[in-house]
A and B are shown apart, each in its own frame.
Chain A
């Protein structure tokens, strides 16, 4: 009974919000454009969460640890991106070619910064505690989360900080049947999609990817087969960091505000997404991210942004109760 409830119950619960408001829209406006816009914004936001969620799911898949500091690494990514393109002089006045070029470089910088940060955190906070009870690395992760937040606090102060709207993220690029697709939306999807494809392809086909999957399945066996488990784990963190950096840049350009606390919130949201999709499952993380993004937008728009976190966390609890393996995950294997 629980299995049945779990499988379809989750999908039903996820559909409740869009369906309810879709019907309401049809009654009030006569078309679904408002819902469509919610979903469009949701997908763009969701793309950002997908990138961060991938980082969580990669790390969890390989060492069964929630990298609590990951959300704050993402925040640092935004900060680094902002700092960098400010330094190289990008502004709203820069021409398109210069802008794109500058942003491409910024993307690389942000990605590399976050990758190094993530690898460093693994080295310092997690590796020494690999044999300790799970509480220990969780605490160090929280510790690092606080440290990074303090860094953000000192860097740009305690309140939300507006950043230049370099790509005119709100400007409508195209309109499909009442649904407005802005330049920000396009950016989010245009950067995320290739990154996701690259990542999944890399993990599926490359030797390192195979090593990652082997280590995730059985670290001891992987070690016996000659895989350097430590390096593989570091590489996993590196990949997660790269994605977080990219997410950070997109976030800064899309939202045009950043602040030190965004990582904590993003972290929980992205983790919810990872769990919703099935922790350890890459496609699931992306799917979860997009779904959560949509839920958020609908909630922001219809119920009120102050309630959205509670709603997202409510979903997290529901998933954990009824389907902890998420949408695409498998039932926990009972070994024998």
Chain B
């Protein structure tokens, strides 16, 4: 399972994590995981609770610094770099428990998502130069489009995020992530709390993102139907280690995977 850690991603992988580990004091949350994502694909990471999936995510997005290992995105080494820089390079994410800016409206949330794509400086903003004014108009337009694309209805746009329905909040979160114009989108349990129809809609949306916008998607999911249905490849973590990887049909039959979820079948 070890890779040579090819920096330039010559095999075309958009993201490559090599031997990545994370330890908190004595507790090892992620243990020597090597993992790569083919571009324009939808891949999933699954595993029982506490397997280290979100910790791994957090290392990819810069919230945690790996104790060991390397993360290369689009040919650039992003190991341990700041989250806002990683975002500006093209990686965006949503959170497991929705982390919208609750006292900002849906539009404002998405506007913040565009922060790294905007150029307005403090002095430009104070003076409201023509360039800044134009930029504000453009980003607002883009925000509206992105929110509509994510499925949010018109009246909800100016609504304060805290007042939105759960489904709408999820949509705003995705729109906010899309706002930074990412090439890689990380979704942390996006279908949590959704009924089957909503999950199916989200699945279709993910495929739409991949096909229409060429965005690569990495998913953490617990809903097996979604995972099996949408993933081109599944990686399974358990106790911080990678225990299986491959197309859905193969992974589902892996004994180690079954054991991890259901306990040893003796």
**A interface with B by C-beta (< 8 Å):** 330-331, 333-334, 336
Residues of B within 8 A of A330 (CB): 25
Residues of B within 8 A of A334 (CB): 24, 64
From A333, which residue of chain B is reached at the shortest CB distance? B24
Residues of A within 8 A of B116 (CB): none
Residues of B within 8 A of A331 (CB): 25
A sample of 14 cross-chain residue pairs with beta-carbon separation below 8 angstroms, ordered by A number, consists of: A330-B25, A331-B25, A333-B24, A333-B25, A334-B24, A334-B64, A336-B22, A336-B24, A336-B29, A336-B52, A336-B54, A336-B55, A336-B58, A336-B64
Determine how close the nearest CB of chain B comes to the CB of A23; give it in whole angstroms. Answer: 39
From B52, which residue of chain A is reached at the shortest CB distance? A336
**Beta-carbon contacts under 8 Å, B34-74 to A:** 52, 54-55, 58, 64
Residues of A within 8 A of B64 (CB): 334, 336
Determine how close the nearest CB of chain B comes to the CB of A247; give it in whole angstroms. Answer: 35
From A336, which residue of chain B is reached at the shortest CB distance? B55
From A334, which residue of chain B is reached at the shortest CB distance? B24
Determine how close the nearest CB of chain A comes to the CB of B262; give it in whole angstroms. Answer: 24
Q: Give the number of chain B interface residues (Cβ < 8 Å).
A: 9
Determine how close the nearest CB of chain B comes to the CB of A329; give it in whole angstroms. Answer: 13
List the 6 closest pairs (A to B, CB-CB), nearest first: A336-B55, A336-B29, A334-B24, A334-B64, A336-B54, A333-B24
Residues of A within 8 A of B54 (CB): 336
A330 to B26 CA separation, bound complex (whole angstroms)? 13
A187 to B259 CA separation, bound complex (whole angstroms)? 66
Given A331-B25, A336-B52, 4 other A-B residues pairs in contact with their CB atoms under 8 A: A330-B25, A333-B24, A333-B25, A334-B64
From B58, which residue of chain A is reached at the shortest CB distance? A336
Determine how close the nearest CB of chain A comes to the CB of B101; give it in whole angstroms. Answer: 15
Determine how close the nearest CB of chain B comes to the CB of A4; give it in whole angstroms. Answer: 16
Residues of B within 8 A of A336 (CB): 22, 24, 29, 52, 54-55, 58, 64
From B24, which residue of chain A is reached at the shortest CB distance? A334
From B56, which residue of chain A is reached at the shortest CB distance? A336
Over the window 147-191 of chain B, the binary record of Cβ atoms lying under 8 Å from chain A Cβ atoms (1 yes, 0 no) is 000000000000000000000000000000000000000000000
Residues of B within 8 A of A333 (CB): 24-25
Determine how close the nearest CB of chain A comes to the CB of B28; give it in whole angstroms. Answer: 11
A334 to B24 CA separation, bound complex (whole angstroms)? 7
From B22, which residue of chain A is reached at the shortest CB distance? A336
Which of A330, A334, A336 has most B Cβ within 10 Å? A336
From B54, which residue of chain A is reached at the shortest CB distance? A336
Determine how close the nearest CB of chain A comes to the CB of B97; give it in whole angstroms. Answer: 13
Determine how close the nearest CB of chain A comes to the CB of B80; give it in whole angstroms. Answer: 13
From A335, which residue of chain B is reached at the shortest CB distance? B24
Determine how close the nearest CB of chain B comes to the CB of A336; give it in whole angstroms. Answer: 4
A330 to B54 CA separation, bound complex (whole angstroms)? 23
A333 to B25 CA separation, bound complex (whole angstroms)? 8
Determine how close the nearest CB of chain B comes to the CB of A237; give it in whole angstroms. Answer: 31
From A330, which residue of chain B is reached at the shortest CB distance? B25
A336 to B52 CA separation, bound complex (whole angstroms)? 8
A334 to B63 CA separation, bound complex (whole angstroms)? 10
From B29, which residue of chain A is reached at the shortest CB distance? A336
A330 to B25 CA separation, bound complex (whole angstroms)? 10
Determine how close the nearest CB of chain A comes to the CB of B132; give it in whole angstroms. Answer: 31
A331 to B25 CA separation, bound complex (whole angstroms)? 9
Determine how close the nearest CB of chain B comes to the CB of A7; give it in whole angstroms. Answer: 15
Residues of A within 8 A of B29 (CB): 336
A67 to B204 CA separation, bound complex (whole angstroms)? 53
Over the window 18-31 of chain B, the binary record of Cβ atoms lying under 8 Å from chain A Cβ atoms (1 yes, 0 no) is 00001011000100
Residues of A within 8 A of B58 (CB): 336
Determine how close the nearest CB of chain B comes to the CB of A328; give it in whole angstroms. Answer: 16
Determine how close the nearest CB of chain B comes to the CB of A79; give it in whole angstroms. Answer: 44
A333 to B24 CA separation, bound complex (whole angstroms)? 7
Which of A331, A333, A334 has most B Cβ within 10 Å? A334
Determine how close the nearest CB of chain B comes to the CB of A330; give it in whole angstroms. Answer: 8
A88 to B203 CA separation, bound complex (whole angstroms)? 81
Determine how close the nearest CB of chain B comes to the CB of A218; give it in whole angstroms. Answer: 17
A331 to B23 CA separation, bound complex (whole angstroms)? 13
Determine how close the nearest CB of chain A comes to the CB of B63; give it in whole angstroms. Answer: 9
A336 to B50 CA separation, bound complex (whole angstroms)? 8
A334 to B30 CA separation, bound complex (whole angstroms)? 14
Determine how close the nearest CB of chain A comes to the CB of B55; give it in whole angstroms. Answer: 4
Determine how close the nearest CB of chain A comes to the CB of B47; give it in whole angstroms. Answer: 13
Determine how close the nearest CB of chain B comes to the CB of A6; give it in whole angstroms. Answer: 16
From A331, which residue of chain B is reached at the shortest CB distance? B25
A80 to B1 CA separation, bound complex (whole angstroms)? 72
A334 to B25 CA separation, bound complex (whole angstroms)? 10
A303 to B25 CA separation, bound complex (whole angstroms)? 42
A330 to B27 CA separation, bound complex (whole angstroms)? 15
